[in-house]
Structures are given as C-alpha cells and as structure tokens.
Amino acid sequence: MALNINRIESLVRELLIEIGEDPEREGLVKTPNRVAAALEFLTSGARADPDTVINEAIFTQKTNSMVIVKNIEVYSLCEHHMLPFFGRCHIGYIPSGKVFGLSKLARLVDLYARRLQIQERLTEQISQVVMDTIGAQGVGVMIEARHLCMMMRGVQKQNSEMITSSVVGTFRDSAATREEFLALIGSRGN
C-alpha cells in the first residue's frame, strides 16, 4: 500500500497552522513535503515483506556454532509519541543447517524498526523472524536504545537507556547458551 503523499502534506500544513506557525514562512514552505517523504521512509517497514528483504539469501551450512552479528544500528519511531528511538541491536543464533546472508539480519532489523514501534515488540519480532525463517535451534536478540520521548519531554532523562532481550529455543532453554551469547556481545554490546 502506497502512502498518499499529497494527503500527508495537507495534514502537515494543517498541523503547522494549529501549532501557531505560518506554513508560507520561508523555512516552512517545503516542510510538508519533507515530512511526508521522511514519514514514507521511516514507516516503510510496515509495507515491506520479510521474504522480499531476505530474497532467498539463506544458505546451507552444516554447523551448530553460534553466529552473532552485533552493533546493528537501530532507528525507529515510538508509536506513543512518534518520536525517534535509536541504539544497537545484537543478534545471535544457532543454525540448524541454514544460515543467513550476513546483510540480511541488518535488513530485517531495519524492516521491523521502520514502522511505528515499541522496543519490546521490535525485539520479539526480530527473534521470531530469525527463528521461523531458518528453523534455528535458538535465537537471542538484545536491543539497547535511547528514547527521545523520554529524553526530550516528560521526565527528561537524557542518560536513560532501555535494554530489551528476546531469547527463544536453546537460548531460552540453556543458561550456558544464553551466557555465551551475553559474553560474546559484551555487557554493553562493545
């Protein structure tokens, strides 16, 4: 489903007027168009399909060693205030005969992050799509993020950080597997 860019531009013009701005002011004349284009990009994950993103980049590999991609940049919009949250995502999985092409994990993170989102759901969605797509033995996902809705407004705590994790399969069932994952990504993902 394509967005109605003209409608979004009209709504942004109305919003500018409602907050006491002049949409004809030099600095704001093109703002409705820029906001519409930004929202189209920042919510593109809601209109994307994981299978298309993966694009069959799944390969046969006989290994049961843990695979980790860490420090994947995450940028999303919180669904409560439509303000950004941003941070890092760490993904680990134990294959069961199939592995992802390396860039596909980062692309899956983007797919789920580019929608109105909450961090808790985002973390779960990533772990579930990895588990389901390759039939992994187990998956661990950790996201560390800073939320502008908490930093710029409300309690205004600039140094706050939210950490969420989702562990499924062997990552949930085995404390040793979970501990290996956490040790490998480092306590702060460094």
Q: What is the pLDDT of residues 32-69, one digit of tens each?
A: 999 999 999 999 999 999 999 999 999 999 988 999 99
pLDDT at residue 90 is higher than 80: yes
> What pLDDT, on a 0 to 100 scale, did the predictor assign at position 2?
85
Please give the CATH number for the structural domain made up of 50-185.
3.30.1130.10
* Superfamily classification of domain 5-42: GTP cyclohydrolase I, N-terminal domain (1.10.286.10)
Instruction: Delimit the CATH 3.30.1130.10 region(s) of the chain.
Output: 50-185
- Active-site residue list: 78-81, 119, 147, 149
pLDDT at residue 26 is higher than 70: yes
In angstroms, the Cα distances linking 74 to 70, 88, 122 are 11, 5, 10
Instruction: Delimit the CATH 1.10.286.10 region(s) of the chain.
Output: 5-42
Q: What is the mean pLDDT of residues 68-81?
A: 97
CB contact burial 107-125 (16+ within 10 A = b; e otherwise): bbbbbbbbbebbbeebbbb
Reported as a pLDDT band with limits 50, 70 and 90, residue 190 is: very low
* Mean predicted lDDT score pLDDT of the chain: 95
Reported as a pLDDT band with limits 50, 70 and 90, residue 155 is: confident
Could you tell me which residues are beta bridge partners of residue 117? 78
- The residues, ordered by sequence, that sit 6+ positions from 186 with a Cβ below 8 Å of its Cβ are 70
> What pLDDT, on a 0 to 100 scale, did the predictor assign at position 156?
85
